[in-house]
Amino acid sequence: MLWRDGQILAGTEAPLDHADRGLTLGDGLFDTALALNGRVAFEDAHVARLVASAEVLGIPADAGAIRSAMRALAGRGERLALRTTLTRGAGPRGLKPPEDPRPTLFATASPSGRAIAFAPLRLRPTAIARNDTSPAARLKALGYLDAVIAAGEAARDGFDEALFRNTKGLVACAGTGNLFCVADEGTLLTPPLTDGVLPGIVRAQVLALAPAHGLAVAERSLTPDDVRRARAVFVTNSLRLLAPVTALGETTYDSAGHAAFALLREALRAAVAESCGVTPEEVA
């Protein structure tokens, strides 16, 4: 399904100006959210992040229109993955942004399988570096080619996702999610945003929920050895929620068997359920 200009279309095709900078330059942003029974999980956070990111880029963003698009699509199924895309719109040839941008906003919805939530992942380290010096590393920008290439490499080697380091060799994130690991002393660690990390919606939930459930949590730069020595490793995103990592290259983990996973899984199930007005059992 496609939302465009206040209308919902059954397919995903609609006219698009071929001079749109989102198409020609990747000049835009997107957001991915989970919708259950007509409501968007953590809706306010998704809208706020997209609007704040657009402000960084100087793209006008209408929070009301974004919310309307998400809600219109959310009501079309029991469990949906929503993708909301905002571009700077069409512009003259060249890189310089137009002085009076006319943004393009559209959103799509597709079924999201329940089985993906809390399902295990195998990660493959990639040699492609996450550019922590770029503002785009902290935005959900349209240019995802590095992640696309790394995902192809991972799949060819029998893995589910790629793990990125930044230009300093520090661990940054997975291709489509934030990384957490449990250190020897039991602290839940995740790289800081300054290491080239996207401020994930579920990442923020975990940082907020962990202390309330007896888990010490800290944002700290991580080396590859830190992650290899971890007791457990998790990847978070809006559809997977909290994915226990079973392997990072040749290193294996029993992440799903760690006590932190059970605590965070139940806390996230409850948070999503409350946000969407459903029971925890309907989340996963």
Burial 77-110 (b: 16+ CB within 10 A, else e): bebbbbbbbbbbbbbeeeeeeeeebebbbbbbbe
All structural domains of the chain, each given as residue ranges with its CATH number in brackets, are 2-112 (3.30.470.10), 121-283 (3.20.10.10)
Distance in angstroms (rounded) separating the CA atoms of residues 54 and 48: 10
Q: How would you write the pLDDT of the chain (284 residues) with one tens digit per residue?
A: 999 999 999 999 999 999 999 999 999 999 999 999 999 999 999 999 999 999 999 999 999 999 999 999 999 999 999 999 999 999 999 999 999 999 999 999 999 999 999 999 999 999 999 999 999 999 999 999 999 999 999 999 999 999 999 999 999 999 999 999 999 888 999 999 999 999 999 999 999 999 999 999 999 999 999 999 999 999 999 999 999 999 999 999 999 999 999 999 999 999 999 999 999 999 99
Query: What is the model's pLDDT at position 102?
Result: 96
Spatial CB neighbours of 257, under 8 Å, sequence gap ≥ 6: none
| H-helix or E-strand spanning residue 234 | strand 232-237
Query: What is the model's pLDDT at position 128?
Result: 98
Query: What is the model's pLDDT at position 204?
Result: 98
Question: Which regions of 131-231 does DSSP assign to beta strands (E)?
Answer: 161-166, 171-174, 178-182, 188-190, 217-219
Neighbours of 130 (CB within 10 A): 27
Q: Most distant CA pair in the chain: distance in Å?
A: 56
| Tokens linked to 219 | 């944002």
Distance in angstroms (rounded) separating the CA atoms of residues 172 and 150: 14
Q: In terms of Cα–Cα distance, which of 233, 194, 178, 188 is closest to 209?
A: 188
Give the side-chain half-sphere CA count within 13 A for 240: 21
Q: In terms of Cα–Cα distance, which of 33, 81, 42, 115 is closest to 274?
A: 42
Query: What is the model's pLDDT at position 185?
Result: 86
| Cα→Cα distances 236→16, 28, 69, 174, Å | 33, 23, 24, 9
Q: In what order do the strands lie in the sheet with 39-40?
A: 7-9, 2-4, 104-111, 79-87, 28-36, 39-40
72 exposure class (CB count in 10 Å sphere: 0-12, 13-18, 19+): middle
| Tokens linked to 25 | 């330059």
Burial 141-170 (b: 16+ CB within 10 A, else e): bbeeebbeebbeebeeeebbbbbbbbeeeb
